[in-house]
């Protein structure tokens, strides 16, 4: 199947990942595996998002651990009682 390149308007195969003429990326929407999560860029986006959330949660957990009252009593960081 041929489609028009949105960039140079050339007729190119929609199987191509990018236009062979100008290099414009082609993203054909093919519902091959409907309901399948492991398809095309969706997996990439989802993985990046989930990874980001996991890293964020880990950072939160680490910062919470460092904020344990035992340590903060000994090392008062950036909190000078003398004005
Ligand atoms: Zn093109």
Number of domains in the chain: 2
Distance CA 8, CA 70 (A): 65
pLDDT at residue number 14 = 82
37/69 same-domain check: yes
pLDDT at residue number 32 = 53
Distance 10 CA to ligand 1 centre (A): 6
42/68 same-domain check: yes
pLDDT at residue number 67 = 73
- DSSP structure class, residue 25: B
In a domain, 78, yes or no: no
46/69 same-domain check: yes
- Give Cα separations from 24 to 5, 15, 17, 28, 46 (angstroms): 7, 13, 9, 12, 24
Distance 67 CA to ligand 1 centre (A): 55
Distance 46 CA to ligand 1 centre (A): 28
Distance 8 CA to ligand 1 centre (A): 4
41/66 same-domain check: yes
26/43 same-domain check: no
Q: Which domain holds residue 4?
A: 1-30
| 64 pLDDT higher than 70 | yes
In a domain, 82, yes or no: no
Tens of pLDDT, residues 8-26: 999 998 888 889 999 988 8
Distance 1 CA to ligand 1 centre (A): 16
pTM of the model: 0.32
- Higher-confidence residue: 55 or 46? 55
């Amino acid at each position: 199947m041929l489609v028009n390149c949105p960039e140079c308007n050339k007729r190119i195969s929609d199987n191509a990942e990018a236009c062979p003429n100008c290099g414009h990326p082609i993203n054909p929407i093919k519902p091959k595996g409907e309901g399948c999560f492991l398809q095309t860029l969706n997996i990439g986006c989802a993985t990046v998002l989930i990874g980001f959330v996991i890293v964020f949660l880990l950072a939160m957990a680490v910062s919470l651990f460092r904020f344990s009252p035992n340590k903060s009593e000994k090392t008062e960081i950036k909190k000078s009682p003398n004005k």
